[in-house]
Structure 1
Amino acid sequence: MGRTVSSISRTSRCSAARKKLSTGRIRCVSNILRGICGAGFTIPCAVFALALTCSRSGPAHAEAVDLELVFAADGSGSIDDDELYLQRKGYADALIDPRVVDAVNSGRTGKIVVTYIEWGDPSSQHIIVDWTEIAGVEDARAFGEALLAAPRAAWGYNSISEAIAFSTDRIVENAYDGARLVIDVSGDGPQIGGRPIDWARDRAVDAGITVNALAVKSRGRNRPGPGGMPLEMHYRLDIIGGVGAFVMVADEKTPFAEVLLAKIIREIADARPTGAGRSLAGVGRRDDPHQYSADLTTCEAKDDERTGPDAGCQWTKMSAAGPEGPKGDQRP
């Protein structure tokens, strides 16, 4: 069950993931020192600790950027090669759009970093284009060219939870210090296998990351979520999280490329902090029985976004069998 997380300071959110790494390093040093000093060595412990910490600390300063953005795109078995190409081209074209470039340049540092991954089953998450700085149209064009030239890598079916976990690790382990941290998940089907989706979402949010989603319903399949709920409802209830989190929908009326462009502009231009604060955003909580209304038409609202504590849908219990595989995704 999703947890209510109190709001924390912007500085804490932005550096939370890296503080975890630093804490682990200090704990390691402390354990080593305990053994050395307890054995009666004469080396001053403080000097030894300083030397050991510095030798393992990596770069002295992470590079400041306005946004660290992971594009986590569906590359599972439901996406054929033509669809995969059109999907990648949508991202490549969106990044060179003048409105996106203007949004990038309007930030404090005037640059963001992006990476593109594709995901399939629980063991299939792949970096298609690694972290790339985008400060202008030429950077964006180079990223798009690399994206379109890369070979296909993902296989299997729909572990969105592992895609989020993998994306979270990419943010935690990189060499950038983003004022905002976002994972942009897109897919045409529900969560099927892997670790629980709410665990992955909460882990990302607690690391200072906001998870947004794009539900793709324009491929003629209209795969539902668990229990037959609309796919966008499943994404809204289970996948998105963090301050400002939202879901958008691509279908026959709103083409993928058009919706994707609007989504990326919104993610880059949003000045709000990311991460913890699901209680403020009104997402990721099922402990409040009044949070989701039974009026399913609310879930089909034009903005496809939660706007308050009653702007959701009645939760439908997940079945043991998912629509694309034998195991489904049961909540623990």
Structure 2
Amino acid sequence: MRWCVSVGAVLVAGAIVGGDVAGIAAPTPNSRFADGNRGVQPVNVELVIAVDVSYSMDMDELAIQREGYAHAIVSKDFLQALRAIPGSRVAVTYFEWSMSGDEKIIIPWRVIDGPESADAVAAEIMTAPVRRGSSTSISGAIDFAVQLFEENPYRGLRRVIDISGDGPNNDGAPVTGARDAALEKGIIINGLPIMVKEPSLSTTDIENLDLYYEDCVIGGPGAFVMTIEDREKFQEAIRTKLVREVAGLAPESGIVPAAEKEPRVPCLIGEKKSQERGRR
């Protein structure tokens, strides 16, 4: 079931990673910590940032998107959220995706625990060459992100996929199957639908991408969508989103929790539009 956790519960959970806090005993390690693997490093959050570079994203959008994540990671708000929990550490990896099988890791797993490590990660993001892909496979991106969790050396109280995109799934497997498989593993998926351009008949873009993300893409405890409709607010939205993911804050007004009803937009709409284009 998808639901919203309380701020207090998440902050307490994050604070007790290393031991007793304010008289509260640390919980018995769960199976992810007690798996017997030597060298496993505990963190508060394992965060996968999955960034759309499909052809529908223009070069300006790609640049703004990348700058947005780099600036967010070094922002005062992000670092304050990190410091709010003593000993807080976030493991993060950043990859770009387009069609199924076209996923490229830009930042391998890194730990951010303060300004210096945040600066290093942001610098890596900004120095990587900008690239573009072709189709849009959100399902492929989710599957790739899940595999990154399985292979990384960190273990966190929460595992979060932060996925951005400007169109529906139109390549690879249906998105709902990938989403549901991730949710079964306890992974949270948050969405950043980019709606700064009017949908065109020559593309597979849709008008209600925000509703599509809410009903077909995101899920897990406290899952939410933040919609970007103005290029000028790109960086602000990304910063707010990362802060909430690190702090585990519950959604507020303007941040939409995952829907628990029938999809308002067909989850196969991208595939349908792609087929219609092929018949023209």
In our comparison, the structure showing a higher alpha carbon Rg is: 1
Identical columns (%):
31
Task: Quote the offset at 1:314 in angstroms.
Answer: 3.4
Q: Deviations over 1:44-81 (max 9, x none)?
A: xxxxxxxxxxxxx8x51410000000110101111233
Match of 1:231 among 188, 191, 209: 209
SS at match of 1:147: helix
Change over 3 Å in CA distance of 1:302–1:226 after alignment to 2? farther
Counterpart Cα distance in 2 of 1:226 and 1:14: 43
Secondary structure at 2:62 match in 1 = helix
1:77 equivalent among 55, 61, 68 = 55
Residues 114 and 134, structure 1, Cα contact 8 Å, conserved in 2? yes
Aligned partner letter, 1:111:
R
Within 2, Cα distance between the matches of 1:264 and 1:135? Answer: 14
1:244 is aligned to 2:217? no
Does the CA contact (< 8 Å) of 2:195 and 2:229 recur in 1?
yes
In the alignment, which residue of structure 2 is the partner of 1:50? none
Among 124, 132, 140, the alignment partner of 2:118 is: 140
State the partner residue of 2:256: 305
Structure 2 residue corresponding to 1:165, chosen from 128, 143, 150: 143
| SS of match in other structure, 1:69 | strand
Task: Say whether 1:197 aligns with 2:175.
Answer: yes
Determine if contact 2:224/2:258 at 8 Å carries over to the other structure. no
1:196 Cα deviation (Å)?
1.8
1:291-302 aligned within 5 A = none
Cα displacement string for residues 221-269 of structure 1 (whole angstroms, at most 9, x for unaligned residues): 3479989560001101110011111111011287111111111111111
Distance 1:84 1:142, change over 3 A: same
Which residue number corresponds to residue 74 of structure 2? Answer: 96
Question: Contact 2:216–2:263 at 8 Å: present in 1 too?
Answer: no
- Range moving further from structure 2, 96-105 or 150-159: 150-159
- Structure 1: 5+ residue stretches without partners: 23-56, 273-280, 282-300
Instruction: Provide the secondary structure at the position in 2 that maps to 1:67.
Output: strand
Contact 1:15 1:177 in 2 (8 A): no
| Count of residues paired in the alignment | 254
Please list, as runs of the form range in 1=range in 2, the aligned pairs for 1:11-50 lying within 5 A after superposition.
Answer: 15=31
1:305 is aligned with what amino acid?
V
Corresponding position: 1:156 with 2:134: yes
Partner residue of 2:96? 118
Structure 2 Cα separation of the partners of residues 271 and 189 of structure 1? 27
The correspondence of residues 249-268 of structure 1 with structure 2, limited to 5 A, is: 249-252=227-230, 255-268=233-246
| Residue identity in the other structure for 2:192 | L
**Distance in 2 of aligned mates of 1:251 and 1:71:** 20
Residue 278 of structure 1 corresponds to: none
Quote the offset at 1:306 in angstroms. Answer: 3.4
Deviation at 1:150, TM superposition (A): 1.1
Residue from 311, 314, 317 that aligns with 2:264: 314
Counterpart-to-counterpart distance in 2, 1:327 and 1:163: 24
Q: How far did 1:203 drift? A: 1.3
SS at match of 1:326: helix
Q: Deviations 1:211-230 (Å, cap 9, x if unpaired)?
A: 00011112x23479989560
1:272-287 alignment, distance < 5 Å: none
Separation of aligned partners in 2, 1:12 and 1:170: 26
1:221 to 186, 198, 206: 198
Greater length-normalized contact order (CA 8 Å, ≥ 6 residues apart): 2
Amino acid at match of 1:306: P
AA at the equivalent of 2:157: A
What does residue 211 of structure 1 align with? Answer: 189
RMSD, matched Cα: 3.4
Give the SS at the match of 2:226. Answer: strand
Q: Give the secondary structure class of the aligned counterpart of 1:249.
A: coil
How many angstroms apart in 2 are the aligned matches of 1:14 and 1:99? 30
- With normalisation by structure 2, the TM-score equals 0.79
The amino acid of 1:326's aligned partner reads: Q
